[in-house]
Amino acid sequence: MATNCIRCLARPSLPPSFLVNASSSLRIQSLPSTASMGKRYASKLNRPTTNGPRKNEKVKGQKTLRIKKKPPPKTGKPPQPGERKAMRKRIVLSNTNALEVPGMRELDKGLVGEWEMGIRDARRQAEEGHWVLEGALGMVAKEGAKEGEAKNGEGVIGQVVALQGQTVDSLRAVEAFKTTQGWGFFRRPGLLIREESVMLSRKLIQAEQGNLRLVIDGERGTGKSLLLLHAMATAFVRGWIVINIPEAQEVTNAMNDYAPLPNTNPTLFTQPTYTATLLSRINKANPILADMEISLTHSLPIPIQSNISLSRLCELGARDPDVAWPIFQAFWAELMAEGMPPVLLSLDGLSNIMRESMYLAPDTSKVHAHDLALIDHFVNYLSGKRRLENGGAVLAAASRSHAPTSKSMELVLKQLVELQKGEEEITEKDPFEKSYDDRVEWALGVGSEKATKAGPVEVLKLKGLSKKEARGLMEYWAKSGVLRKKVDEKEVAEKWALAGNGVVAEIERGALRMRI
Amino acid sequence: MPPRLNIFGVSRSLAIRPRPSIASHQSRILPVVSQRGFADEKDPNLSKGPNEAGLGHVSEEAADLGRVMGETQPDLGQGTPVQDILKRDEEGRDKAPAVIKEEIDSIKADAAESTSFANLLALGQIENIATGGHGTDPVNVDTVGHKYGLPELPLPKNSNLKYRYDPIVSQVTNLLMKDGKLGVAQRNMSFILNHLRTAPPPVPNPARPLVPGSPAPNHLPLDPIGYLTVAIDSVAPLLRIRSQRGAAGGGAALQIPVPLGLRQRRRQAVQWILDAANKKKSRGSGRNQFALRFADELINVVEGKSSVWEKRQVVHKTGTSARANLSYRPGGRR
């Protein structure tokens, strides 16, 4: 190995093998011109071969620092695959430490029946001329109508009602409860009855003879998902069949397998695994399916008996993702047959489906969310293109946390709310905005060309709680022993004002979570 | 060797007599001549006999009269309002200026409303209902005319904007904080308290007695701050060991026990609990894992399972054995 010093071209007087190992030697420092040899080499070729003793090898009489790496101590059994996620997603619905609240009403047939009576009374009075029926805002008392009339079931507004055990099981199966909600604080799951929830329940009861298409909107933390849960609970109590998509983003964020559906134009994409899980959830949540037999004949890829129950049909679909979509269609056809109960189709996180999904088409363009077969199915009913034959409702809740923006959806919802309020000036489209989407407008039942006859969807804009409702909620917390404060006018007003005029999540945050 | 003499020691035998806090500036010796006027004084204030002085003003007259008659006397220390004078003086009332007459009339009109307690109570209840509350809400007289009444005085010590949390909560939150991220620490604290609230009640170990006066274990979960306080105060050491270098001779350190204040004791306990929590392994995933481990360690402390108890015991044992060193003063005896 004939190497020269780069600077002075002098040859090293020491063998290279010595140089490599001599970083700690004193002798090398006496040769300043070749000192750089140990570190720097002109090219790769000049690098010394590693024939000599290795760096950490012990040379006789030399002290080297040796640090032994200790392996981390093994304690206990490591978590199984999926166990940690399951722990994160676990939903606790009871706290045995919390006190039981005496005299709590249940959301049962009796209470829903009272609301139904309220509708009848209102109708009777409408005939007598005291009430006017008004679009999405429900019944509005005409001036001159007596206060206190037609108040059936409204005494419960501002109270927390408990959910029945059967309802809780069903709601759990459709994944209506979420981890961010404070179910784990109380002895048993309860729902605050607000003015809007009574209104929505009445609309649902009325929808048994018709169709309800409604979008729930509102600021972050105003209780949109909980209102959706209330609707589902009412539907379960009324004996409806509930099909819920708990998180729209799970459908569109390209985390599931997908396949093009043959003979569709534009091409639709099915999601076999997701559909199979959906079928299994539907089966679990609706025990009445077990008593219903197949009444139609279907051409399915797998042979099925002609007299199996709908529950069994769902089970077959849930077992095999490859046939899940055809079985879902067969199941839906059964639901639309005559004599079946009403259906509630609900979805949380609307803006996720009002845009292009994350799935890619074969030409690497993005698939629009409405081209996913499941979403297409939902949107057909939301837009009013198809009707729920046995009555029922299509509900969608917007989401305000971790939600993508959909310009068209925001605009349409804004316009619809303004129309409901009867404002003279309706917000116009921004002429310079390019990201408006006609399909979204169509899905919400508006738009010039392809607008459906059914008209636009109804919009329920949620705001903060009233002070009465806030007080009822805080009294419930205090009775449960979770809020250790005197609940009086002053305290309620303080919390209500600090929570942005009664935004319910903020009241909870201020009273139960961040300030104990 | 002659005995040490201390000149300051002499004063020790002197009795200390309390001096009146306000010394009288009046001379004890009565002046022979009571007053001397200047030569050019026109109206010298000559001394008069006992009955020569004229009558005092109205209040003084009333006071004298009251003393004689054995009735209540007006307080001479304060000025007498005209209204009080007019109360007694019927003739003066008639001749009083119009402004005062009007004032007297208006007081009479209000009196019926303002004096009756029942009236005030009813008014307060109406106010409560008007503001959207219940009639049964507590009414204090201050509520009348104010939406939420006046604050009770004196203001509580922690009614400052900056002290919105319980002292122990804010202390522990600050100790949990990393990299100055107070928001994260507060979220962790909230998770900890909520976990204590929902976890099953602890089963204390009789060998590890909790701080005296702590509530029954099944009362702890619904009072998470109390739970936290019990856990921390139970393992808080009473003292720390200070090592004085070279004091023991031969280069060895002398261990001297030093008592700790309340915040110092709590700080030490939280540090120990933090150490134990950091050594634990997370069982789940997500961002609340640290808070969960800390909360579990708190429960372990109350149940007597935590290693923090040993640390406390070691400190206390060392302190007991080193108590002979308490008399050590740096720099030797003086």
Chain B residues with CB-CB distance to A87 below 8 A:
283-285
* Biggest CA-to-CA distance, chain B: 104
Per the CB < 8 Å rule, is A493 touching B148?
A: yes
Output helix, strand, coil percentages for chain A, rounded to the nearest 5.
40, 10, 45
| Section A103-130 average pLDDT | 86
- CB-based contacts of B26, cutoff 8 Å, min separation 6: none
Note whether A180 contacts B: Cβ–Cβ < 8 A. Answer: no
Q: For residues A148 and A168, what is the distance between their CA atoms, to the nearest angstrom?
A: 33
Rg, Å, chain B Cα set? 37
Q: Give the model's pLDDT for residue A189.
A: 97
Q: Is residue A325 predicted with pLDDT exceeding 50?
A: yes
**Whether A345 contacts A326, CB under 8 Å:** no
Indicate which CATH number applies to the domain containing B240: 1.10.455.10
Smallest CA-to-CA distance from A158 within A118, A119, A198 is with A198
Is B270 inside any structural domain? yes
Which of A3-12, A243-252, A391-400 bottoms out in mean pLDDT, i.e. has the lowest? A3-12
CA distances, B138 to each of A480, A486, B129, B149 (Å): 22, 11, 12, 11
Q: Give the model's pLDDT for residue A15.
A: 47
pLDDT-derived band of residue A447, with 50, 70 and 90 as boundaries? Answer: confident
Q: Is residue A410 predicted with pLDDT exceeding 50?
A: yes
Is B154 inside any structural domain? no
Chain A residues with CB-CB distance to B222 below 8 A:
97-99, 481-482, 484
**Whether A215 contacts A413, CB under 8 Å:** yes
Can you read off the two tokens belonging to residue B251? 């280069």
Q: Give the model's pLDDT for residue A308.
A: 95
Nearest to A489 among B131, B190, B283 (CB): B131
Q: For residues A217 and A444, what is the distance between their CA atoms, to the nearest angstrom?
A: 13
Which residue type occupies A145? A
Measured in degrees and rounded to the nearest 5, phi and psi for residue A109 equal -60, -35
Q: Give the model's pLDDT for residue A24.
A: 43
Is B143 inside any structural domain? no
Q: Is residue A136 predicted with pLDDT exceeding 70?
A: no
Per the CB < 8 Å rule, is B165 touching A75?
A: no
- Chain A residue with CA closest to B146: the answer is A490
Which of A53-57, B278-282, B284-288 bottoms out in mean pLDDT, i.e. has the lowest? A53-57
Q: Where are the alpha helices (DSSP H) in B145-181?
A: 167-176
Q: Is residue B17 predicted with pLDDT exceeding 70?
A: no
Per the CB < 8 Å rule, is B133 touching A489?
A: yes
Which residue type occupies A414? K
Q: Is residue B40 predicted with pLDDT exceeding 90?
A: no
Nearest to A516 among B193, B200, B221 (CB): B193
Is B294 inside any structural domain? yes
pLDDT-derived band of residue A139, with 50, 70 and 90 as boundaries? Answer: very low
| Number of compact structural domains in chain B | 1
Which residue's structure tokens are 């740096």? B330
Q: Give the model's pLDDT for residue A177.
A: 97
- CB-based contacts of A157, cutoff 8 Å, min separation 6: A193, A194, A195, A198, A468, A469
Q: Is residue B27 predicted with pLDDT exceeding 50?
A: no
Is B239 inside any structural domain? yes
Which residue type occupies B120? L
Q: Please give the share of chain A, as a percent, with pLDDT higher than 90.
A: 72
Which residue type occupies B290? F
CA distances, B128 to each of A91, A261, A490, B137, B149 (Å): 40, 65, 10, 7, 11
**Minimum distance, in Å, between the CA of residue B138 and any CA atom of chain A:** 8
Per the CB < 8 Å rule, is B222 touching A98?
A: yes
How does the average pLDDT of chain A come out, rounded?
A: 86
Per the CB < 8 Å rule, is A489 touching B285?
A: no
Could you read off the pLDDT of B46-79 as tens digits, one per residue?
545 556 556 666 677 777 777 787 777 766 666 6
Note whether A467 contacts B: Cβ–Cβ < 8 A. Answer: yes
Smallest CA-to-CA distance from A498 within A474, A482, A462 is with A474
Rg, Å, chain A Cα set? 33
Q: Give the model's pLDDT for residue A212.
A: 96
Q: For residues B245 and B250, what is the distance between their CA atoms, to the nearest angstrom?
A: 10
**Dihedral over Cα of B153, B154, B156, B162: its sign:** positive
Is B153 inside any structural domain? no
User: By residue range, what is the domain housing residue B265?
Assistant: 182-327
Q: For residues B22 and A416, what is the distance between their CA atoms, to the nearest angstrom?
A: 83
- What one-character-per-residue DSSP string does A152-195 give? TT-TTTTSEEEPPHHHHHHHHHTT---TTS-GGGSSS-EEE--H
Within 13 A of A270's CA, how many CA atoms are on the CB side?
19
**Whether B232 contacts B172, CB under 8 Å:** yes
Which residue type occupies A247? E
Burial class (CB in 10 A: 0-12, 13-18, 19+), A122: buried
Distance spanning both ends of chain A, measured CA to CA: 76
Q: Is residue B316 predicted with pLDDT exceeding 80?
A: yes
Q: What's the pTM?
A: 0.73
Per the CB < 8 Å rule, is B198 touching A185?
A: yes
Q: For residues A188 and A160, what is the distance between their CA atoms, to the nearest angstrom?
A: 11
Smallest CA-to-CA distance from A271 within A285, A253, A298, A286 is with A253
SS3 call for A141:
strand
Q: Give the model's pLDDT for residue B52.
A: 56
Q: For residues A13 and A11, what is the distance between their CA atoms, to the nearest angstrom?
A: 6
Q: Give the model's pLDDT for residue B66.
A: 78
Q: For residues B140 and B127, what is the distance between their CA atoms, to the nearest angstrom?
A: 11
Q: For residues B12 and A7, what is the distance between their CA atoms, to the nearest angstrom?
A: 90
Indicate the DSSP class of residue A347.
E
How does the average pLDDT of chain B come out, rounded?
A: 80
Is B45 inside any structural domain? no
Per the CB < 8 Å rule, is A481 touching B222?
A: yes
Is B25 inside any structural domain? no
Q: For residues A13 and A31, what is the distance between their CA atoms, to the nearest angstrom?
A: 9
